[in-house]
């Protein structure tokens, strides 16, 4: 497929179901994580497992599967000693997602994940653009249906650089960003928090971010890799300040170096109730990020208007 079906369903105000986590799910299933490239090496070392994670999400009701390319950014791969394998790793990940679609015989779109993973800051903003463009070219050349810019943990100027880098790309572009609540002011901020009590990075007021990003990008914009409660608040702010399509794929659990900690703080049924409230608040795309797996995706798939879609 075929982005057309997704587009039509969005125009009909339907809910599109994304997949859940890829990296954290591979970790949960026992795949070895590379010390620097995280789940980036899994597509080469453990292709059957990567393909089967995609297949499980499709069978659970996902309309879109995301390639395991979050961690295979050219800048990270060069930095960590994989310079010669950038095309190989990224192409293999697209092939595995496409094979999963073929094996399940369903009309599913493949989203290429382009991210800011891996020691970007030390290179400076200008040096990032070639890496974003290189990954975009490889993924689009290999036949993905859309791109998700997973700029999730990035500060505003980096998000703007990654959006700018996609200008020549013909594929549909979705942008995902993450949010936290500032405890002092109670306001939703662009930023991220991976641990329960330390390392919260707060960048700027989320309303300002949404207004700036929407000048450069007409949507969809997705709130991702954020706490479930914060996601609900961020959606309300986003809806007031942005007219385009909105999405959400939050976290469940938190990161404690070097692993994602899976916590059973919410049942699949409760995840669905949250998702339902986001739909009522104007969200049309829902999936999951780290810690959200097949059971949650299965639960929220009832939000699709046509269950055979
Ligand atoms: Zn995540």
Per residue in 223-259, pLDDT (tens digit) is 999 999 999 999 999 999 999 999 999 998 776 666 6
In a domain, 309, yes or no: no
- Cα angle: 185, vertex 273, 56; to 5 degrees: 110
**125 Cα: distance to centroid of ligand 1 (angstroms):** 23
**225 Cα: distance to centroid of ligand 1 (angstroms):** 4
Query: How large is the average pLDDT for residues 256-284?
Result: 87
Residue 139, domain extent: 3-303
Q: Are strands 221-224 and 173-177 parallel, antiparallel or unpaired?
A: parallel
Tokens 């026992």: give the residue: 30
CA distance 107 to 180: 35
CATH number at residue 242: 3.20.20.330
pLDDT reported for residue 131: 93
In a domain, 308, yes or no: no
**289 Cα: distance to centroid of ligand 1 (angstroms):** 4
pLDDT reported for residue 299: 98
Q: Binning pLDDT at 50, 70 and 90, where does residue 151 land?
A: confident
Domain count of the fold of the chain = 1
Whether residue 261 has pLDDT greater than 90: no
In a domain, 218, yes or no: yes
Residue of 118 and 272 predicted with greater confidence: 272
**224 Cα: distance to centroid of ligand 1 (angstroms):** 7
Whether residue 146 has pLDDT greater than 90: yes
pLDDT reported for residue 307: 64
In a domain, 203, yes or no: yes
**287 Cα: distance to centroid of ligand 1 (angstroms):** 11
In a domain, 72, yes or no: yes
**260 Cα: distance to centroid of ligand 1 (angstroms):** 9
Strands (DSSP E) found in the chain: 16-17, 64-66, 109-115, 146-150, 173-177, 179-181, 188-193, 200-205, 221-224, 246-249, 254-256, 259-261, 285-286
In a domain, 228, yes or no: yes
Reference 15, options 229, 282, 289; nearest CA is 282
Torsion angles phi and psi, residue 248, rounded to 5: -150, 135
């Amino acid at each position: 497929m075929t982005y057309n079906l997704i587009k039509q369903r969005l125009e009909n105000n339907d809910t599109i179901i994304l997949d859940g986590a890829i990296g954290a799910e591979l970790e949960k299933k026992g795949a070895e994580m590379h010390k620097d490239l995280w789940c980036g090496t899994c597509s080469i070392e453990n292709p059957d497992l990567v393909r089967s994670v995609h297949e499980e999400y499709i069978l659970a009701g996902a309309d879109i599967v995301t390639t395991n390319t979050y961690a295979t950014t050219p800048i990270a791969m060069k930095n960590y000693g994989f310079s010669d394998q950038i095309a190989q790793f990224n192409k293999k990940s697209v092939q595995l997602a496409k094979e999963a679609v073929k094996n399940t015989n369903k009309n599913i779109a493949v989203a290429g994940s382009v991210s800011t993973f891996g020691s970007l800051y030390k290179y400076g903003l200008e040096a990032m653009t070639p890496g974003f463009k290189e990954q975009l070219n490889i993924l689009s050349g290999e036949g993905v249906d859309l791109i998700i810019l997973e700029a999730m943990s990035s500060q505003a100027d980096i998000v703007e650089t990654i959006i700018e880098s996609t200008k020549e790309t013909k594929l549909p572009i979705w942008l995902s960003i993450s949010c936290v609540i500032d405890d002092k002011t109670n306001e939703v901020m662009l930023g991220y928090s991976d641990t329960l009590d330390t390392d919260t990075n707060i960048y700027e007021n989320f309303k300002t971010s949404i207004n700036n990003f929407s000048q450069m990008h007409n949507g969809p914009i997705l709130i991702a890799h954020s706490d479930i409660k914060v996601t609900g608040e961020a959606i309300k702010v986003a809806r007031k300040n942005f007219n385009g399509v909105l999405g959400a794929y939050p976290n469940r659990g938190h990161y404690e170096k070097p692993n994602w900690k899976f916590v059973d703080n919410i049942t699949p049924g409760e995840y669905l109730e949250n998702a339902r409230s986001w739909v009522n608040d104007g969200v049309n795309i829902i999936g999951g990020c780290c810690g959200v797996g097949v059971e949650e995706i299965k639960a929220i798939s009832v939000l699709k208007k046509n269950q055979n879609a």
